[in-house]
Structure 1
Amino acid sequence: MTDFQGSILSIVTTLLERSDKGDLTVALDTAIHGDGLGLDSLETAELSAMLEDEFGTDPFGAGLMPETVGEIVDFYTEGEASVPA
């Protein structure tokens, strides 16, 4: 697991605990919406803010709509974002 993976999984887990969804399992192939994490628009906005606070940017703010946790990780690891060290 990369540092980005661990950090992002931790952020998502924190969000789920705040949303009383702490019993859900988070993996890279877990869908963000629907039958996966079931995030609504407010929770998605909160996730966006949490990612931006941690990394200085986020895929949602960049105009992307990731469908899985792995696609969020890809945003940071594939050079689409300028992430501070």
Structure 2
Amino acid sequence: MARIDILHPHTRSADEARAIVDGIAAQLRDRYGVSGAWQGDSVQLSGPGLQGQVELLPRQVRVTAELGFLLSALRGQVEAEIRRVLDERLD
């Protein structure tokens, strides 16, 4: 199993960051069948071959994920896509 751990800084307010992360979770659900449920300041993600969370921290977002066997082979691509989305939405 491969692990992803990304800490991404941002300049958004807490409410803006939460709305953006909520939108990302909705997009994951629609595209890939990944469920996301808020628990405090974190979205717990679960889907085929993926378990993880997106945690809202002061001025940062932390994404952690454990990738299953099939996604482990694509770890670099998955991590690059996560970084791209965070760069686009949380600059």
TM category (shorter chain) comes to 0.3 to 0.5
Identify the structure with bigger relative contact order (alpha carbons < 8 Å, sequence gap 6+): 2
Q: TM-score, normalised by structure 1?
A: 0.38
Is the radius of gyration larger for structure 1 or structure 2? 2
